[in-house]
C-alpha cells in the first residue's frame, strides 16, 4: 500500500470514528466525545511537530514506539498528569480498535497499543461535600427569583440522585414520575444505560412546584426538565453555565460553612452522596447500582474503600450489572491536523 493511501485511510477513519461510530456505539456523553477528539488532535499535532505531513503519514506512525514518544511529550511538554496520560492512551486505543475492525491489516496497531504501560498514579482519596456543606449549598439560592428556584431544584437533584452533570442536563419531563407510589426519575447514564433514582419527599415536593411553575400542566413530555431558551429553542443548559452557577453558590455558602470548597463543582455532589450512603450503611453493591458503575472495582476506588470492605463487597457480589466535526479529510490546507479533520 502506498504511503498516501495510508494517510487517506487514516484521515477517513478519524472522521468516521468521531462523527459516526463513537457517538452511535460508544457514548452519548459530549464530554467523552470531546475527549476522543482532543486526544486525536494532540496526537497528530505531536506528529506534525516532528515533521510528519499528509504526504509522509503512514500506519507506522501509529505504532507502539510513536505512541510511547507521544506520552512522554504529553508528560514533559504539556505537563499532563499520569491520570491524563492514561486517559489519552485509552482514547487512542479506542480509535485503533475501530481502525482494526475496518482494516484487518492494521489490527497489529491495536494489539501493540495494549503492550504500552500505563503511567503509575498516586492513590488519591476522593473528596466530596460534608452534610453541613450540602445543606449550606442548598440554602444559598434565592428562592424569591425564578432562577434561584430553578437552581435549588437542580442542586437538590444533583445530590438526591448522585447523578452526573450531563445526566441531570439530559433529564426530560417524561423521565420524572412524581405520582408513583415511590416517586422516581429515570437516569440515562454512560452507554445510554438506564437506572432508577428514587426521590425522597423534599426533592419530590420541589420538583412538583418547579414543573407546575415552569412547564405547566400540558407541557410536551419530551421537553428537557432544565432548558435554555437561547436561540428560541428548548436546548440543554451548557455545562459551563451550570458550573458558573454552582461556583456562585459555593462562594455564598463558604461564608456560612467553611466546609464548602470555593471550587465546588457538580461531581462533588455525586462523591458526597456516595460517601453519605456508605455512612448510612448501604453496601458497596447497592452503591454500585445507584451510581451506575459497570464494574464494582470502580465503586471501590471511587469511595477509597479499605481492603476489608473490598472482601465483604466481593462476598456480597458472589451471593447476588461531540458535536460532529466537519469531514475535512478530503480538503487539507497542508497541515497534518487539518488533513485529518482535527483542527481545534
φ/ψ of 162, rounded to 5, equals 55, 30
Q: Which residues contact 98 (CB under 8 A, 6 or more apart)?
A: 13, 16, 17, 21
Residue corresponding to grid cell 500506519: 59
Residue-wise pLDDT tens for the chain (344 aa)? 344 479 999 999 999 999 999 999 988 777 889 999 999 999 999 999 999 999 999 999 999 999 999 999 999 999 999 999 999 999 999 999 999 999 999 999 999 999 999 998 876 665 678 999 999 999 999 999 999 999 999 999 999 999 999 999 999 999 999 999 999 999 988 777 889 999 999 999 999 999 999 999 888 999 999 999 887 778 999 999 999 999 999 999 999 999 999 999 999 999 888 888 888 888 888 888 888 887 777 777 666 644 454 445 444 444 443 444 344 444 556 687 877 777 65
Residues 152 and 263 in one domain: yes
User: What cell was used for 152?
Assistant: 435549588
Is residue 104, in this structure, part of any structural domain at all?
yes
Residue 312 in any domain: the answer is no
Query: Do residues 313 and 305 touch, judged by C-beta distance below 8 A?
Result: yes
Give me the domain span that covers residue 275. 131-303
Q: Do 165 and 262 fall within a single domain? A: yes
- The reply to whether 96 and 63 lie within a common domain is yes
Determine, yes or no, domain membership for 308.
no
The CA distance from 305 to 310, in Å, is: 7
Q: How many domains does the chain have?
A: 2
Same domain? 93 vs 155? no
Q: Are residues 106 and 172 in the same domain?
A: no
What is the pTM (predicted TM-score) of this model? Answer: 0.65
User: Does 198 fall in a domain?
Assistant: yes
183 and 298, same structural domain? yes
Q: Same structural domain for residues 161 and 83?
A: no
Q: Are 208 and 289 found together in one domain?
A: yes
Same domain, 142 and 251: yes
CATH code assigned at 208: 1.10.443.10
Query: Do 80 and 145 belong to one domain?
Result: no
Amino acid at each position: 500500500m502506498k504511503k498516501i493511501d495510508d494517510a487517506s485511510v487514516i484521515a477517513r477513519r478519524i472522521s468516521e470514528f468521531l462523527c459516526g461510530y463513537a457517538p452511535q456505539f460508544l457514548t452519548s456523553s459530549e464530554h467523552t466525545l470531546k475527549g476522543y477528539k482532543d486526544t486525536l488532535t494532540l496526537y497528530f499535532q505531536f506528529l506534525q511537530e516532528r515533521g510528519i505531513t499528509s504526504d509522509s503519514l503512514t500506519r507506522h506512525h501509529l505504532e507502539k514506539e510513536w505512541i510511547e514518544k507521544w506520552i512522554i511529550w504529553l508528560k514533559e511538554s504539556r505537563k499532563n498528569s499520569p491520570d491524563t496520560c492514561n486517559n489519552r492512551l485509552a482514547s487512542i486505543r479506542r480509535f485503533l480498535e475501530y481502525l482494526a475492525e475496518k482494516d484487518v491489516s492494521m489490527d497489529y496497531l491495536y494489539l501493540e497499543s495494549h503492550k504500552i504501560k500505563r503511567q503509575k498514579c498516586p492513590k488519591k482519596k476522593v473528596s466530596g461535600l460534608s452534610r453541613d456543606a450540602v445543606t449550606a449549598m442548598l440554602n444559598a439560592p434565592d428562592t424569591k427569583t425564578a432562577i434561584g428556584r430553578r437552581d435549588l431544584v437542580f442542586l437538590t437533584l444533583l445530590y438526591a440522585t448522585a447523578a452526573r452533570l450531563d445526566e441531570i442536563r439530559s433529564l426530560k419531563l417524561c423521565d420524572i414520575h412524581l405520582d408513583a407510589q415511590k416517586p422516581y426519575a429515570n437516569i440515562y447514564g454512560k452507554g445510554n444505560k438506564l437506572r432508577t433514582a428514587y426521590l425522597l419527599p423534599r426533592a419530590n415536593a420541589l420538583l412538583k412546584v418547579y414543573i407546575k411553575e415552569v412547564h405547566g400542566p400540558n407541557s410536551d413530555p419530551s421537553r428537557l426538565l432544565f432548558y435554555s431558551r437561547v436561540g428560541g429553542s428548548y436546548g440543554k443548559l451548557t455545562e459551563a453555565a451550570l458550573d458558573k452557577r454552582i461556583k456562585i453558590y459555593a462562594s455564598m455558602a463558604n461564608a456560612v460553612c467553611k466546609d464548602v470548597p470555593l471550587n465546588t463543582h457538580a461531581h462533588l455532589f455525586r462523591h458526597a452522596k456516595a460517601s453519605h450512603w456508605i455512612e448510612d450503611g448501604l453496601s458497596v453493591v447497592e452503591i454500585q447500582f445507584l451510581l451506575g458503575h459497570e464494574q464494582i472495582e470502580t465503586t471501590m476506588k471511587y469511595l477509597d474503600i479499605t481492603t476489608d470492605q473490598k472482601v465483604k463487597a466481593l462476598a456480597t457480589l458472589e451471593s447476588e450489572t461531540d458535536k460532529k466535526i466537519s469531514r475535512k479529510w478530503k480538503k487539507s490546507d497542508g497541515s497534518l491536523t487539518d488533513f485529518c479533520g482535527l483542527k481545534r
